[in-house]
Structure 1
Amino acid sequence: MNVPIRRLATVVLVMMLALMAATTYYQYFRAGELNTDGRNVRTIYREYGVFRGPIVVGGTSVAVSDPVDDPFKYLRSYSKGSLYAPVTGFYSVTFGRTQIEDSEDDVLNGSADELWMQRVKQSLTGQQQQGSSVELTIDPKAQAAAAKGLGDQRGAVVAIEPSTGKILALYSSPSFDPNLLAAHDTKKVNENYQKLLNASGSPLTNRAIAGDTYPPGSTFKLVTSAAALENGDYSPDTQIDAPNELPYPNSSKALQNYGGEVCSPTGKMSLEAALEMSCNTAFAQLGLDLGDDALVSQAKKFGFDTDLSVPMTVTQSHVPPTDDKAQTMRTAIGQGDVTATPMQIAMISATIANGGREMQPYLVQTVRDPDLKVVSEAEPQELRESVSTSTARQLTDMMIGVVQSGTGTPAQIPGVEVAGKTGTAENAAGQAPHAWFTGFAPADDPKVAVAVIVEHGGSATSEATGGTVAAPIAKAVIQAVLGG
């Protein structure tokens, strides 16, 4: 073999080796990266070309995949889209996934580890990969009552079954129609998305579990009361200071009661009475007496400053520690730097209703494969003991008083004993306060715990209180669950 031929053979061999190395590099070492690259059209077609399992509420599919004659093969569609959007989220070729569509994606598209046998069966029989159905814990009547109660007002509702942690309602207002983002016309979907981003009230924000957290206002007095009762030196009958106003330490300013009201002509009242009328000065002084550490510790026992998923990630609620006594006063009444999600406030009521045991909230009850065989079934899981059984019982009795003769009377239901707590939370300067209500029923055998927030008092604006605005919504949701 002459020299030119040998040189040519060497060059060809080197090129073949380089080609083999490059092919191995891209097909093996970078396969995952390339498959997930948003510019990889084949990956997009493959992902959206799989039959996606339905999302089911109360035995009815509220999100399904319909076959269509385009490269994506299936179109996701949502019945009663805006009602369930805070739960289902959306599944979009253009903007990806949110809420249950995202957190349960591997189950819905059939790629979850627990579905491997199903994939083997589909492969052997030549069937296309299919996803599994996800059955939720949502009570359709409770969800509808939450949506109707909020109407056009901004806010959120969360309802939980205290003994299990099942989420019975999870609604955020304003909501949106996921069908606007599920279409395969990318130009139209982009237009719809921009409209939603620019819409008043941020409808894409899930106020129930995420987005901006809220000052909990007087609903936090349940935490302060729990800290006092757990302390051992207090009972519902214990007389506590309740001045007309309480000066802030090292300040010329003083804390006032709502509307400048007088809680007690004697300057003293029982802890139970203070909760019934939601006396700010009494609870602020109680917070000073207990100390910041006790308030923060009890809040953490209820789940503040703790990660949580339901399975969507819930924004943490916060009670930051402080050495500032003025801030401790504000913390004790749920103001200042204290922030909470409606989910967290619902969990407080659910925990009290469940004898002090806090259960893991969850949305997914059952997963079924395409043959409707059960793949997984949720089991109630206890997170922690937040308060003792005796403290929970005392708090329940105090909350019953709030609804029977205190600030929460609009939550009364004939024939049903309701336990509750109102909240009217100051927020941004110049803005009307947020209206809160949280509670549970029946008080002696709790089936549902609920939290409602109406931002800036809703249609009542500056005249709003938690009792007048939020309590009637909570009442309607409770009645929907109880069948009343």
Structure 2
Amino acid sequence: MNKPIRTMSIVCMALFVALLVNSTYLQYLQADELNSRNDNKRVRDAEFSRERGAILVAGNSVAQSKPSNDQFEFQRVYSQPEKYAHLTGYYSYTYGRNAVELTQNDILSGSDPRLFVNRVVDLFGNSQPKGGDVSLTIDPKAQNAAYDGLQALGKDVKGSVVALDPSTGAIQAMVSNPSYDPSGLSSHNLSTISSSWEKLTGDPDRPMLNRGIQEVLPPGSTFKLVTAAAALSSGQYDPDSLVPGGARLDLPQTDTDLPNESGTDCGGDKVTLTQALMVSCNVSFGYLGLTLGDDALREQAEAFGFGDEYLDDLNGQVASRFPEDPDAPQSALSAIGQFDVAATPLQMAMVSAGIANGGTVMKPYLVDEVRSPDLDVLDKAEPEPYRNAVSSSVARDLTQMMVEVVDQGTGSTAQIPGMKVAGKTGTAQSEADRPPYAWFVSFAPADDPEVAVAVLIEDAGVARDAISGSGLAAPIAKRVMEAVINQ
């Protein structure tokens, strides 16, 4: 064989090998990624012609596919859409999927490998494959209480409620307001889909934003739980340790003082750590920020989950944050949940749940169970410890301190007759031209916790002096706790 022919043979062989490698890569290694792309029209058309599985809450569907008289045969339908929109998400021909419709798409669409046998049976039976069902951890009574509580503050309220089972991490309620109806995005009419998308994405109130996991805001005095945890964990303090009270704290390196929100002296020049938490004393906790230092506060915040993304069942989670390198005055402000500290309601619910669970924070999850079209259980969620945030003794001390907050302090509006409730209020300052944020975190019963709740009221449309965690957020948390416990 002469050299030109030999060279040409080698080139052809190399091209043939490259073709095989590319085909293998596309059909096996990249298949899942390509199939899941929202712009893959072939897969999208096939999915829209199947009976998609249902999303269930307590056995009842909050999203399901019903027969339709058009080219796609099945129409996605959402019951109680605004109450569950941020959990179900949408299933759109043009704009793809979101929330559980996205994260559980393989099961819902019937393309999951665990449904292979079902697809083979459907193939031989000359019928379209069906999707499996997804059951959520949501307690419908808790979800109703959270939704109704936000609605009771007014039509235009902006806020979120998250409730967790402290012992498992199961999400019992997650509501964000304002909300939206996914039905328009899931229409088979392209014009309807487009107009719905433009209306929702152009709304300045951002109704498609899940404020429970996708927006971080100053947690204000609810962050004092993290600071108190760092103080108790340091071994330098116990609940009866005396800390500075007084009306103002002199911030070093500045001409500025840190005042208490109420302008009072917190009960004296020296108060116990329990008293400081009970009346939410800025002076005391600012002092702790100065003495403990930013590293201790950051480590404690990270032990509860700050800086991390831990929710797998919903997309778009934003990590809560603690500032990287604050100076001394900034550390004092950070200790009271201001400066650059920012958290989601889910994160603050995890702080409360970790304390309730003896110091162990459980990984939050929303999907409880997935089933085949034949109702066989394919997967069942197993609670998973996420981090040990504090010792059991510190958790006990914090619990009792939080009980005092509700029994005698700023959180009295969360009291439940005949039951001990642990809680912490927060009113976080924001920009000068907008009202503060009202927070409340809690769990109950304090001696045998069943539910931990975080409530954020971002904007209730009320006068500035009417905004407080106790006035706006705590009553909602109370309703949610009662809904879970009184069943």
Q: TM-score, normalised by structure 1?
A: 0.91
Change (3 A) 1:350 1:30: closer
Distance 1:36 1:286 in 2: 50
Assess if the C-alpha contact under 8 Å between 1:367 and 1:376 holds in 2. Answer: yes
How many angstroms apart in 1 are the aligned matches of 2:211 and 2:34?
A: 35
CA RMSD of aligned residues (A): 2.2
Corresponding position: 1:291 with 2:316: no
Structure 1 458/308 Cα, relative in aligned 2: closer, same or farther at 3 Å?
Answer: farther
2:168 counterpart residue number? 164
Higher CA-based Rg: 1
Task: Look up the equivalent residue of 1:101 and give its one-letter code.
Answer: E
Q: Distance in 1 between matches of 2:75 and 2:298?
A: 48
CA drift at 1:86:
1.3
C-alpha distance in 1, partners of 2:255/2:409? 31
SS of 1:451's partner is strand
How many residue pairs end up in the alignment?
464
State the match for 1:440 in structure 2: 443
Question: Are 2:53 and 2:65, in contact at CA under 8 Å, matched by a contact in 1?
Answer: yes
Q: 2:411 aligns with which of 383, 396, 408?
A: 408
Shift of residue 30, structure 1, vs aligned partner: 6.0
Please say which of residues 303-312 and 52-61 is displaced more in the overlay. 303-312
2:469 aligned with 1:466 = yes
- Once the two structures are superposed, what CA deviation does each residue of 1:58-92 show, in whole Å capped at 9, x if it has no partner? 11011001121222221111000111111111111
| Aligned positions of 1:264-303 closer than 5 A | 264-265=267-268, 267-303=269-305
Specify whether residues 24 and 434 from structure 1 end up closer, same or farther in structure 2 by C-alpha distance, changes over 3 A only: same
2:112 corresponds in structure 1 to 112
| Larger CA deviation: 454-463 vs 49-58 | 454-463
Query: Using the alignment, how far apart are the partners of 1:162 and 1:258 within structure 2?
Result: 31
Question: In the alignment, what sits opposite 2:233?
Answer: 230
Equivalent residue letter for 1:298: Q
**Overall identity of the aligned pairs, in %:** 47
Q: Single out whichever of 217-226 and 88-97 deviates more from structure 2.
A: 88-97
Residue 45 of structure 1 corresponds to 45
Residues 194 and 451 of structure 1, relative CA distance in 2, 3 Å threshold:
same
The CA deviation at 1:35 is 6.2
SS in 2 for 1:376: strand
Alignment of 1:53-132 (within 5 A): 53-132=53-132
How far did 1:244 drift?
A: 1.4
Match of 1:311 among 310, 313, 319: 313
In structure 2, C-alpha distance between the alignment counterparts of 1:244 and 1:142, rounded to whole Å: 39
Q: Which amino acid aligns with 2:309?
A: D
Code of the aligned partner of 2:482 = Q
Q: 1:22 deviation in Å?
A: 13
Aligned to 1:388: 391
Q: Which residue of 1 aligns with 2:480?
A: 477
- Seen in structure 2, the aligned counterparts of structure 1 residues 368 and 34 have a Cα distance that, compared at 3 Å, is closer
Residue-by-residue CA offset, 1:199-253 (whole Å, 9 max, x unaligned) = 242101000011x311010000000000011111111000011231112222111
1:342 paired residue among 341, 345, 354: 345
**Cα pair distance change 1:150/1:35, threshold 3 Å:** closer
The one-letter code sitting in structure 1 at the alignment partner of 2:476 is I
Query: How big is the shift at 1:323?
Result: 4.5
Is the Cα contact below 8 Å between 2:87 and 2:314 reproduced in 1?
no
Residue 457 to residue 271, structure 1, CA distance change in 2 (3 Å)? farther
Query: Which stretch has the larger CA shift, 85-94 or 63-72?
Result: 63-72
**Aligned partners of 1:279, 1:188: CA distance in 2, in Å?**
53
- Equivalent residue of 1:455, what SS? strand
Distance in 2, Cα, partners of 1:235 & 1:293? 20
Amino acid at match of 1:360: K
Amino acid at match of 1:455: E
The code of the aligned residue for 2:144 comes to A
Equivalent-residue separation in structure 1 for 2:386 and 2:182 (angstroms) = 33
- In 2, Cα distance between equivalents of 1:26 and 1:39: 21
**Partner residue in 2 for 1:8:** none
Q: Secondary structure at the match of 1:181?
A: coil
Is the 2:38–2:95 contact (alpha carbons within 8 Å) kept by the matching residues of 1?
no
1:154-178 CA distance string (max 9 Å, x none): 0000000111111000010001111
Deviation of the 1:351 alpha carbon:
0.7
**Structure 1 counterpart of 2:286, one-letter code:** A
The alpha carbon displacement at 1:29 in A equals 6.7
Distance in 1 between residues matched to 2:218 and 2:213, nearest whole Å: 14
Conserved? CA contact 1:45–1:71, under 8 Å: no
Q: 2 CA distance for matches of 1:471 and 1:22?
A: 64
Whole-Å separation in 1 of the counterparts to 2:34 and 2:218: 44
In structure 2, relative to structure 1, the CA distance for the partners of 1:202 and 1:112 (3 Å cut) is same
Worse overlay, 465-474 or 241-250: 241-250
Question: How far does the alpha carbon of each residue in 1:333-374 deviate from its partner, in whole angstroms, 9 at most, with x for none?
Answer: 000000100000000111111100111111111111111111
Letter aligned with residue 223 of structure 1: V
| Cα separation, partners in 2 of 1:382 and 1:26, compared to 1, 3 Å | closer
Q: Distance in 2 between matches of 1:80 and 1:172?
A: 14
Residue of structure 1 equivalent to 2:250: 247
Q: Does residue 324 in structure 1 map to residue 300 in structure 2?
A: no
Alignment of 1:187-226 (within 5 A): 187-210=191-214, 212-226=215-229
Q: In the superposition, relative to structure 1, how do residues 86 and 436 fare at CA in structure 2: closer, same or farther (>3 Å)? A: same
Residues 111/245 of structure 1: CA separation in 2 closer, same or farther (3 Å cut)? same
CA distance in 1, matches of 2:174, 2:442: 15
CA distance in 1, matches of 2:307, 2:37: 35
